[in-house]
Structure 1
Amino acid sequence: MPVTGLSVPDTPLTIRDRSQLIGGPAAQGRLGDVLLSNDKIRVIIQKPTKNAGIGSFGGTIIDAYHAGGGEGDQWGELFPMVNVEWTINYYDYAVVSDGTDGSPQILRAQGIIDTYDYLDLDWIADAASAVLNQQVSFADRFDDRRDPFQVNEELRDLPAEVVTEYRLDPGKNYVQIDTTFTNPSDHPISFPVGDFLAGSGALNLLIPGIGFAPEPTQQLGNQTPAVIYTAFDDGDVSYGYFFDPENFDAKTTSLSYSGLTGVLLGEEFLKILPIGSNTVPEIHFALEPESQKTITRYFVVGDGSAGSVLDAGLQILNALTADVSGEVRDAAGNPAAGAVVAVKKPGGGTVVTYRSDAAGQFRGRLPTGEESTGQMFGEGRYEVWVEKKGFHANGTARAGNCEPAQIDLSAGAPAFVTCTLGQSGKIQIGGVVDAETGLNIPARLTIVGEDPSPETKGAGTFSDTNVFKKPFGIVDSLLINAMGGIGLSTENSFDLEPVTYLFVFSHGPEYSIVERAVTVAEGGTVA
């Protein structure tokens, strides 16, 4: 169905038919939005309008997925942060290049600095104060209620007009985002800039070098080199946010809360919101008199893994890297598909994870640590851990062990790692039957037994521990469908660590609970 009567600029890249929409669990695209696409990815930028999502306005990235069809979008939104409580209200856009004849697709959006009114970000100061147990200042120059762009002596000379260009080159799996601010005045103007990111879908939040869904104190106190969103389980799309560090003089930090991550580019949260009620904030981003400054960021679309996103990001940033590859095998020496291999900073957080393929293999690239950009992610020496649900290496709190457990890429030589999983047994579900009718019914299976292997304190090693956290003593909780499969699939078996469990089957208050003691033997199958 073609779109007619557009109330927004009509461009060569405007979505005119619903078949051009991406679709998926988190899809927001509508007729009249703009589609950037090549042979790798598709990305939708919302038309200038009031945003129905977590952002306040349109003109931002709202959907992204692979090229070639499919409805798998898991992305929420990426939109700019200006002066902490402000964003950009895009009111117009035009296509600078439509991608014909091998040229890039470039969309230029024009907007004005406007209040971000979905969240009142004053709460950041209160939250930080609670975490630090000290008063943290939220300066008037950031407070939208005080209208700083009209009242503040420095900020009132900043023009509200801002221009952003979205660029997708042929053969690339990322969109380059260039936002330009202008200062026509005769004095410098300083204000923090950054972006808000909302993964929204079935995604794990990873801050490379800090870990998955880190605690606020860890996230606030450490550098954020990038933000990565990995897929749950077998999901086929992941996302990444990278920035050009050459734009900034200081380290970048971030804070995540309730699914929204705010990134302050070249700024430290605890210097923007300093300790002490009257402390003046320290701001590094500044426009010199009669000048312009452009900040560059990159939005990457990956294959579901963190590794595919980090590989692209490191290549974009021209970081010096070395190959890391390996294989994961079970205790019998068979290839283990679907295992998660985490690469961590020594004694620190996860930098990236890889998922083993059908042959049990994984591959990626990591910084050698020879230059400053790569050092944001790692300094060339790393630890390697492995995880696969249902496996346990005796004498450890892990699913298995990797050899070597530590790798050194600082000389640029590649590394090969072999990870061996511990013991496991298999559970095969035949379905859950209604005793009166004899028919299969859906039910919940709660597995009670030993507590799950502990995660590193402060941040997840393999996934978002906030999303997947279970009560003490609960190993797992599964939904059995009416066909006897697990979840929405037809798969009716799963791996479980060898030990004795209590299986608890339930189906709401209308059915009595059924309990079964189940002993899982190493290498055995319980049906």
Structure 2
Amino acid sequence: MRKESHITQRNFTGKVLLLITTLTLIPVLLFLVSKCGTKTESEIKDEELAKAPGLEESINQIPKPKSITIKKLEEKDIENLKPSTPEEGAAFKAKPGDILVETDKIRVIIQQPSREIGVSTYGGNIIDADIKREDGTFRDIVGEENWFWFLGHTLKPEKVGKWKENIIAATGKLDLLDYINANGLAETVFKSYIPNFELPFKVDEERPIKATKYFVFSDGNHVKIIDVACNEGKEEIPFFFFADIIDSGGDVEFFIPSSELKGYGYKSPLPTGLSVFKTDFIAFVSEKLDSSYGIFPETENNVSLIVSGVAAIAYGMLEGDGLNSLLAIARGTSSKFITLKPSECLKNEKYFIIGNGSASSLTDEFFRIKSRKENSEVYQVKGKVSISGLQVLPSKPHIAVFDKQNKLITTAGGDIYGNFKLVLPAGEYKFVAEIKEMPPSEPKLISVPSVQDVELQIGKPSKIIISAVEKKISGEEINIPAKVSFICQGECPKKICIKGCEILSTSFRDYVYDPLPDGVQEVVFLKDLKPEEIYISPGSYKIVVSRGMEYSRYETDVNIGPGEETRIKAYLHKVANADGWLSADTHVHAVNSPDSPVSLIDRVITFAGEGVDVIISTDHDWLTDYEPAIALLGLKDFLSSLVGQEITTFSYGHFNAYPLKLDKKAPSDGALDWAEKYDRYQKYGIKESEKEKFRFLRSLHPKEIFKNAHLMKPENFQRNIVQVNHPRSGGMGYFDYVLLDTLRLTTAIDPCIHRIFPPAGTCGGADKVGGDTGLFIPLQTLKDMANLERFDAIEVYNSYYEIPIVINDWFTFLNHGVHITGVGVSDTHQKIQVHPGIGRTFVWVGKGNDSPSKFREDIAVKNTFINNLADGKVFISNGIILEEFKLCGARGNAEECAEMGWSNMKNLTSNFKLKIRVKSADWVKFDTLKIFINTRETAARSKQPVKKWPTPSYATSITPIRQEIEIQGNRFGWMVFETEIPLTPPAEDFWVVAVVSCENSCEPNPMFPVVVDKKVKPILITNPIYIDQNGDGRFTPSPPTYAKESPQAPHYENHQAEGKAINSKSKGRKSDSNNEERKMLLEKIIKSLHIH
């Protein structure tokens, strides 16, 4: 009564107090609502979801988080998340509109429906994840994880949003995963081994499946993912199985204890080299970012195929071993296939676990999940790794934990003081510790839970303090980036064992993805421009300090014991300086490529240490800018960069485009989508009744790719470059994949196999459509330098071993009267094994313009660089520098000289003399000069690439002269050779290319360890000099002819400067043989899947 009376009186003071109290409490109430997960309106209705029997039970097994917030990100939110960057090795990619879910333990971002070319094309998947951190940073290393059903379909969500207070649902239909074309693989690679092979089902057809992906957030460091598939059709759907495809993400190492590697890495030590494993779980760890994540399936007997940083997991499909399982899936003979009946719904469950950078932080959570389900106990074990006399370890230790059967259970990570902890079930275990600088500790056996404290001891390393200093002629000393290689004198003190040992090295870290060269203990890149400390196992070493092909190298022998310290000041001099040229690598990968777990900072360090001037980013279908990393490291004087893309079609070739305009707001930061859907029916005049027939033919024709890429040039550039990559690398090579005949410039493959609309208007190979399926570029288009549908450059040197094959194709184009620039690239994905900057492209920009700083600051120099690259003012090298290359001859009564470059073509008619001058550092040898002039017998028939070196017009053995300089007591040497050769060229227009190499005096290889592959020998390849001999203003050499089956072997004589015509020889690369059909077949599959 009193309360009613009080209100009735409408006391003014009371109303004000009530209003103030209410206003004060509203923010608090809102905060509590958000933190406690009070029920709010669902964004997705029940009828929009696919539901399988047992779904609710599976969801209810997961304890809800203590607090949870769900919000759609705005631009300002993304910055406030404080995400780590690709410079550090992170993989953060959230955009406005994506969904952030934050509990008291983890933060996860789920992508809204989208479209980007990649492992997960349409969104509806986890793209970023990390534990909650005290400093508020978001150290994401997650790539992408989504479905891989029917060997090529994935979820295309119609809606992604909140369903229940702790559940996000992504629901929709299946659509084609453009990233992978299993049908193209089957029709090309499989059929090359099994002519009548057919996949057991059509990949490129619609399936009436309603599908939902549930993300159930827990009270721990994990999300339970439940995948549901419902057959909405009237017919049974055979050959179904649940499968995922995973882009590994940032600067990570794979961790798969059930693999033959027993831990880290995915390149199998088996003779087949296949990365096919039984998979209990698959994890990804980054010590650099203290971040990790993993997929832990509920199912048993899973099998994984891992290629180029991308993993495909087939849940429950293991039959026998991994190889048999994969082949049974491909052939349709697996007993594990599921037939999805009409109206039937099935589900698959797995745990997405997020950790702090160690594998054990993931298994800790999984053991807790299992113990809760099984009502069992788990125990925390802690320990310390020590080195006598050191309070701080040289690097963080890894502690491998094995069971009684020597099966790896997990690997823990310690801090720099050696402390570690992990969770284990009761049992008997063996602990072994390792740091990267030293051999492992002695094993220690313990019993859990009776022992929960472990002490491990590692030997004491040696310390070398080293700096690299460039000695100028003036005597000035400048600290420079460099590479330091430790060559073992005898056996290496720390042995790396990945097969046949009781404890494999890969139980501690990944020693297989980027292995050290044989006989090398360590390779370190100096970056700080001051003395740097390097810890290493005690022993005897030859230390080699280098900075790429233009510099001398420093060598010294050391014998250093445990705990000892020595100082080295390595003097280098630029002995083979390429004045007027900028060196570049036009094919480079890093962390934004699935198969290149290298942070942008590490990538910059490697290139600065190798002395490259310009690094061009060409990540797979992603645009990357190296300039922030260069600035962070203070290396602007040593390296500059351009933004580009490797346009990575799955089944008809890879193409680089550069420079491109980066757009952080666009999908893949602005990369070209080579399979983007648009209305082709109207464009190609397809009848309405025939639309369904061509439904999946949505990949761009190569000429469309070239045109679209050319149109993506930045506004301040006059043009850009489109480059054909590794054209003869089997499953990755454009020329191989379209079955190119380089004489006729025709293709034989059915365009529909590659999901390209057939230019002939009907699917079929060359025999069905009149001899040419139209997947190459017409001759007149290639000849038109301004045509956007042509390509501008070709990788003559990508793999050293494929140079002979590609150079035949290149010469064939030249004989068609087509100018295409030949370039040299590394296509590096690692830091050591695939050598950054080898091969290398040198582009003429003029003296005074040939520094990274000038390139960065002056757009005119950048344009000169790109224009001259397109024009062919370029040479290719892995160690030899070109100083002069010109062809002089009579023009009327005067002598004129022509140099490399299409625009430098001259009308000369007689008295031809070729002038060439080359040099190298004295650790680079060369002894052979070959001259090619209109070399005609180079054309390849479809399916028959020419593998032998073409026959040179002239060849001679040469003897360079050693020269040296002494600067304040330090001697630096280099090799020089120059000659003038009279030529008698053909009567028609002609081109001239020179090749300088080492063929007789390079055993053992003098470039090792600067170039890590001991089989790679020095080589220089010029671009053509063009002579318009008839003076008609056009370039019309005699057309090419098919190569002969077996070119004759050459005979070299020691003619110092005589242009003696000889025949050609190439040792070629030995082909592998394998007697077992399955191994041979799967080897080819794996090679085809690699996405270099």
Q: TM-score range by the shorter chain?
A: 0.7 to 0.9
CA distance in structure 1 between the partners assigned to 2:279 and 2:104 by the alignment: 31
Q: CA deviation at 1:500?
A: 1.9
CA distance in structure 1 between the partners assigned to 2:349 and 2:256 by the alignment: 19
Aligned residue for 1:144? 203
Is residue 455 from structure 1 mapped to residue 494 from structure 2 by the alignment? no
SS at 2:442 equivalent: strand
Aligned residue for 1:67? 132
SS at 2:304 equivalent: strand
CA distance in structure 1 between the partners assigned to 2:324 and 2:201 by the alignment: 13
Q: CA deviation at 1:119?
A: 1.9
Structure-2 change in CA distance of 1:56 and 1:303 (3 Å): same
Aligned residue for 1:179? 227
Structure-2 change in CA distance of 1:111 and 1:17 (3 Å): same
Which has the higher relative contact order, 1 or 2, with Cα contacts under 8 A spaced 6 or more apart?
Answer: 1
Deviates further, 24-33 or 219-228? 219-228
Deviations 1:338-397 (A, max 9, x none): 1111123556553321122244222212344xxxxxxxxxxx454332211222xxxxxx
Q: Retained in 2: the 8 A contact 1:85–1:142? A: no
2:94 to 15, 22, 29: 29
Deviates further, 255-264 or 206-215? 206-215
Q: CA deviation at 1:271?
A: 6.0
The code of the aligned residue for 2:382 comes to S
Deviations 1:151-178 (A, max 9, x none): xxxxx6xx32211122334x53222212
SS at 1:314 equivalent: helix
SS at 2:383 equivalent: strand
1:327 to 384, 387, 394: 384
Q: CA deviation at 1:442?
A: 1.6
Aligned residue for 1:81? 148
1:475 to 521, 525, 534: 521
CA distance in structure 2 between the partners assigned to 1:273 and 1:239 by the alignment: 25
Structure-2 change in CA distance of 1:42 and 1:435 (3 Å): same
TM alignment of 1:29-48, pairs within 5 A = 29-48=94-113
SS at 1:58 equivalent: coil
The code of the aligned residue for 1:165 comes to Y
CA distance in structure 2 between the partners assigned to 1:277 and 1:137 by the alignment: 13
Deviations 1:215-255 (A, max 9, x none): 556987753111111114x431111111223xxxx511111
Q: CA deviation at 1:323?
A: 3.7
Identity percentage over the alignment?
25
Q: CA deviation at 1:270?
A: 5.0
SS at 2:352 equivalent: strand
Structure-2 change in CA distance of 1:263 and 1:278 (3 Å): closer
1:300 to 350, 353, 365: 353
SS at 2:381 equivalent: strand
Aligned residue for 1:223? 278
CA distance in structure 2 between the partners assigned to 1:509 and 1:315 by the alignment: 54
SS at 1:92 equivalent: strand
Instruction: Specify which structure has the higher proportion of strand.
Output: 1
Structure-2 change in CA distance of 1:219 and 1:326 (3 Å): farther
Q: Retained in 1: the 8 A contact 2:441–2:459? A: yes
**Long gaps (5+) in structure 1:** 1-8, 98-102, 150-155, 369-379, 392-397, 486-491
Q: CA deviation at 1:197?
A: 1.4
CA distance in structure 1 between the partners assigned to 2:534 and 2:405 by the alignment: 32
Deviates further, 333-342 or 460-469? 333-342
Give me the CA root mean square deviation.
Answer: 3.5
Aligned residue for 2:364? 311
The code of the aligned residue for 1:446 comes to S
CA distance in structure 1 between the partners assigned to 2:398 and 2:195 by the alignment: 39
**Long gaps (5+) in structure 2:** 1-42, 45-68, 568-1092
Deviates further, 464-473 or 332-341? 332-341
Aligned residues: 466
Q: Retained in 2: the 8 A contact 1:198–1:261? A: yes
Aligned residue for 1:375? none
Deviates further, 80-89 or 335-344? 335-344
Q: CA deviation at 1:446?
A: 1.5
SS at 1:316 equivalent: helix
CA distance in structure 2 between the partners assigned to 1:365 and 1:122 by the alignment: 45
CA distance in structure 1 between the partners assigned to 2:196 and 2:407 by the alignment: 29
Structure-2 change in CA distance of 1:47 and 1:251 (3 Å): same
CA distance in structure 1 between the partners assigned to 2:189 and 2:351 by the alignment: 28
CA distance in structure 2 between the partners assigned to 1:238 and 1:137 by the alignment: 44
CA distance in structure 2 between the partners assigned to 1:476 and 1:79 by the alignment: 38
Deviations 1:290-319 (A, max 9, x none): 442222222222111111111112222336
1:110 to 131, 156, 171: 171
CA distance in structure 2 between the partners assigned to 1:96 and 1:276 by the alignment: 35
CA distance in structure 1 between the partners assigned to 2:114 and 2:163 by the alignment: 21
Is residue 435 from structure 1 mapped to residue 465 from structure 2 by the alignment? no
CA distance in structure 1 between the partners assigned to 2:213 and 2:312 by the alignment: 19
Deviations 1:449-504 (A, max 9, x none): 1434122318722122233311011111111124326xxxxxx3232111121221
Is residue 418 from structure 1 mapped to residue 455 from structure 2 by the alignment? yes
2:122 to 50, 57, 70: 57
The code of the aligned residue for 1:457 comes to K
CA distance in structure 1 between the partners assigned to 2:386 and 2:188 by the alignment: 44
SS at 1:467 equivalent: coil
Instruction: Specify which structure has the higher proportion of helix.
Output: 2
Q: CA deviation at 1:138?
A: 7.6
SS at 1:363 equivalent: strand
CA distance in structure 1 between the partners assigned to 2:169 and 2:329 by the alignment: 41
Aligned residue for 1:399? 440
Aligned residue for 1:239? 293
1:161 to 210, 221, 228: 210
CA distance in structure 2 between the partners assigned to 1:463 and 1:340 by the alignment: 8
Aligned residue for 1:386? 433
The code of the aligned residue for 1:325 comes to K
Structure-2 change in CA distance of 1:83 and 1:137 (3 Å): farther
CA distance in structure 2 between the partners assigned to 1:126 and 1:297 by the alignment: 33
Q: Retained in 1: the 8 A contact 2:385–2:455? A: yes
Aligned residue for 1:351? 409
CA distance in structure 1 between the partners assigned to 2:362 and 2:433 by the alignment: 19
Deviates further, 460-469 or 314-323? 314-323
2:333 to 257, 280, 284: 280
Q: Retained in 2: the 8 A contact 1:219–1:253? A: no
1:258 to 293, 308, 321: 308
Deviations 1:72-127 (A, max 9, x none): 32221111121232211123222224xxxxx53x2221121122221224698899
Q: Retained in 2: the 8 A contact 1:340–1:387? A: yes
Structure-2 change in CA distance of 1:162 and 1:471 (3 Å): same
Q: Retained in 2: the 8 A contact 1:84–1:142? A: no
CA distance in structure 1 between the partners assigned to 2:424 and 2:196 by the alignment: 38
The code of the aligned residue for 1:228 comes to A
Q: CA deviation at 1:415?
A: 4.6
